[in-house]
Amino acid sequence: MSTPVFVIATLLLIGAIVRQLIIMYTNLLSLQKDAEISRVKVKEEKEYLFIKGLY
């Protein structure tokens, strides 16, 4: 009687762990993408300030 309960609980636990890993991975990818975008923004801002200083 208790074996199916343990099997279902184990499957739910594995599913929850896999779901959390997927969420963590997507968050990590978005953070890396934000860092690259920020780097480009800083470069563009420096170039803008340089050009602005020429006038």
How many angstroms separate the CA atoms of 55 and 39, rounded? 25
User: What are the backbone dihedrals phi and psi of residue 20, each rounded to the nearest 5 degrees, phi first?
Assistant: -65, -40
Residue linked to tokens 């636990």: 13
Q: Which pLDDT value is given to residue 16?
A: 96
| Residue 8 pLDDT class (50, 70, 90 cuts) | very high
Confidence bin at 48 (pLDDT 50/70/90): confident
Residue 12 has pLDDT above 80, yes or no: yes
What is the per-residue pLDDT across 27-47, written as a single tens digit (0 to 9) for each?
888 777 776 676 777 777 777
